[in-house]
Amino acid sequence: MTSSATKFCPLITVTHSRTTSCVAKFDKAFASLGLVSTATPLFTVLIGKRSKSEILRYFLRKTDEGFLSDRHGQVYLWKDLKTQQADVPTIFVDYELQGYHDSQWSEDVGPGVRLDRNVDWVTMKPGVLSRRSLATLLCSRVFGPLCDTLCYFSADLGGLRVVASYLAEQASSAPVSDLPLQVLPSVVVVVETTAKTYDCHFGTSTLLEAVSNIMVRQYGLTIEAANANIALHFRRIQVLGIRKGASVQERAATIQRRLVDIGQEKTKSRNLLGTTLNMTHTNAFMGQLLEAFCSDYTKTFSFALGSRQDGANHRHLTKHIKEVYTALPSEAYLFHLLCPLLASAILLAGFPPGSHRFEVGWPFDSLFKSKVKKAVYECTVQAATRDAFLKRLAPHLTEFHCELAAHNDVADFHLSTLYRLQKVLSCGHALCDTCIRTFGFRSPAGSQSYAFETCPLCGAAHLRHPFQLIPPTAGIRVLSIDGGGIKGIIPLVFLRTIEERLARFETPICDCFDFVCGTSAGRLIVLGIFLMRWTVVQCLEQFQALAEQTFRPWSRCSSTFARLQELALSYLRDWQYSSFAIEQAFRSAFGADIRMFNPICEDTKVAATTIAAKQPQSCSGATTDIDAGYNLIRARAAADDVSISDAYFKAVNLRNLGVFQDGGLHHNNPLSMALWEVRNLWPQRALPDVALSIGTGVNESVFSSRFHRLNLPMPRGQPPLDDVGAMASPESQATLHIQDANRTQQVIDSLLASSFYLEFDEIPSWQQGEYTCTGFIKCRLPMTVQGRKALTAHLSSTSSFFVINGQLLLALSGSLGVNLLSSAECASSSRIWSPQ
């Protein structure tokens, strides 16, 4: 007899022949539920025939008496309408494979994608037994790990003893999966009774005894082994008695209360252990479980391995750890270098993009722990070192796993860590500052200069200059340049004057700042000077040429109608001027393959501000939004987005990021954004040593002495942003304004003072209630011999001094013994100490 359910798409059907059995899974069954992919459902498997269908019909609020009135002999999915809008909806698995030979499926319904799998192991058993075993084991080994309750209706299956035989066969096989025991399915056996009361505890004891006896008698286990196996397969087994003469509503309510209690308990366990799967992951794991069941049901399924991409393996982990260990200078690097490095590698390997986020300790124990222990035990000698390393690894895994939870997916988390890889070798591999110091060798160019002959990852030759790192004890120097269209020539004039004043020290201005940020036209300036390494004069010439090519004035011979037509087109396309000249300038300079991934060898961070078109929130090229991750942008694309107003240039659509407009629409003065970014990049040095802002004003604060503002007053008003003809006037005014020595001398002095820093030569010691430290005062500016001579003369003529322990000491005094000319590395080699 064909069931009324056959007009719906089943999840699983089974067909048998003389020699084999075939299981088919239909992907459409999950899609037909209409639930969002992020929903984390509770699965309840209902196993039976007529009584099961009556209860299920009540659960589904179906008033049609013909619905599910006939047997169908297959597996269906039904959603609970009452909970379908909840984050944790209930899905009933209508399981009727028990007791039937072939599933009754009408193929003309059109089930969609169908995956057929032959069950290889059925040939080892005679026909009837193989079919019964297939139905019994498929329930526990495919649905068991994913469901919360296996609900058997004993009256439909031949009584309590038959159900006991099903459970005994399931518990006699190998453990189903490597999931924690706390999320094993619970078994509820519904027993119909004519008595007014039913002792469920006695029924449960009778059932457990029957299951154990069958396992001892038919499968050759001892009673202790039988009980242990039951505990490895089921969280608990209980019998629920319902009165046979009661109404369907009364019986269904009794069963539902028990299922709800179990579901709430299981939800807490799954959330605590990180095994709450969404719809997408449940469907994927079900396919893998079915594949494993059809090939060999005696093997334990590994969710840890199943969540990894095809071909991913960790067989060589021990070897790789030992290779890294041999490259470490000493065992001390085990804890502050190898430990976090290994934790991050394990986390990214254990949680590939798109995978479920299990609790970090479980995949580590399942996949990596034994190999990590083997590598550590083979590399280290002291037992205390081994134990300390493994103990220190756990907090790093937990910390990184918490960071992972803050991201939308694992791919986003993986990309968000790339901002730490700030130095790019010639081969394209990128390293963080820690790896630069660890694997590079000191360059004669300075104490914080590190060179590479070959890439430590691939062995390719490194052809670039040494990497210059910011000294750990040095302060941060910030430059902020405002936007303003053609008025961008004003900060260029100011910077040209500063560069001229620094010329005698033979130090380019691009080496005087650690973080630079520009908005609109200011962004062109910072990209040109600090990323493309133009001099200020070259940048000034480029700026004037770009402005003349971009802002073409109206032709005098143009008719009024032609001008109105051009204005109408500008309104419709949302921009007035073409950015072709800007694009060509940066494309010709950068080429096609150079990207804005900090390709410079210096440690200067270059930020270009913009705002998202859909949200009035400012962004920078070095955004640290935890939800955004890292996205690769070509430098010329960042330059293309330089616009003066959304009415002048069209917005730019950056792939994978969205549509962006000029940052000047929200933050024309980017200093506040620059300071915010500095606090995120250098948390221990949140207050910069010096901050130079060129453009509009800056708020007064307690630290105002560290901030410098260069601005040009315009009492007659400001010219339009696109008036190229008026560009000469701001240039000449800025040139006259900056000639005042007092306006620039403070900036020059602050830049020179911030270039000095204290470098310890040994760890500070605690003596008599205070720390005593010794070290060298060094200069960060990469000067030539002539430049050092000029700096020495300048320090002497200005009577410059250092403040040490509250005492003022001349920079070139005998007590400091400064010798700027004897070393290409440091500006002074004086020892300092705290008074005893």
Determine contact, residues 173/216, Cβ cutoff 8 Å. no
Q: If you compute the radius of gyration of the chain from its CA atoms, what whole number of angstroms results?
A: 37
Region for residue 442 given its phi and psi (left: phi exceeds 0; alpha: psi -120 to 50; beta: otherwise)? beta
CB neighbours of 171 closer than 8 A, spacing ≥ 6? 211, 215, 226, 229, 230, 232, 233, 234
Determine contact, residues 601/466, Cβ cutoff 8 Å. yes
| DSSP string over 210-272 | HHHHHHHHHH---HHHHHHHHHHH-S-EEEEEEETTS-HHHHHHHHHHHHHHHHHHHHHHHHH
Backbone angles phi, psi at 252, to 5 degrees: -65, -40
Reply yes or no on whether 520 is catalytic.
Answer: yes
Reply yes or no on whether 627 is catalytic.
Answer: no
Catalytic site residue from 662, 689, 693, 754: 662
Measured CA to CA, the distance from residue 496 to residue 509 in angstroms comes to 9
In the three-class reduction of DSSP (H, G, I as helix; E, B as strand; rest coil), residue 442 is classed as strand
Backbone angles phi, psi at 396, to 5 degrees: -65, -40
| C-alpha closest to that of 756 among 655, 667, 832 | 832
How many CB atoms within 10 Å of residue 506?
17
**HSE-up (13 A, CA, CB side) for residue 340:** 8
Beta strands 149-153; 186-193: pairing state: parallel
Catalytic site residue from 3, 53, 520, 754: 520
Q: How far is C-alpha 352 from the geometric centre of its chain's CA atoms? A: 11
| DSSP string over 30-94 | HHTT---TT--PEEEEEE-SHHHHHHHHHHTT---TTTT-S---SEEEEE-TTTTTSSS-EEEEE
Q: 16-41 burial string, b = 16+ CB within 10 Å, else e?
A: beeeebebbbbbbbbebbebeeebbb
In the chain, count H helices and then E strands.
Answer: 28, 29
- Helices 339-350 and 383-405: crossing angle in degrees, nearest 10, is 50
Q: 714-748 burial string, b = 16+ CB within 10 Å, else e?
A: eeeeebebbbbeebeebbebbeebbeeeeebeebb
Number of residues that make up the chain: 836
User: What residues does 708 pair with on adjacent strands?
Assistant: 692
| C-alpha closest to that of 615 among 671, 660, 667, 677 | 660
Stretch (H or E) spanning 742? helix 741-754
| C-alpha closest to that of 484 among 292, 675, 734, 702 | 734
Backbone angles phi, psi at 116, to 5 degrees: -100, 140
CB neighbours of 100 closer than 8 A, spacing ≥ 6? 71, 73, 135
Beta strands 690-694; 449-451: pairing state: unpaired
Beta strands in 84-127 (DSSP E): 90-95, 114-119
Beta strands 618-619; 652-654: pairing state: unpaired
Determine contact, residues 547/725, Cβ cutoff 8 Å. no
Distances (CA, A) of 637 to 518, 597, 652: 15, 12, 8
Looking at the annotation, which residues are catalytic?
A: 520, 662
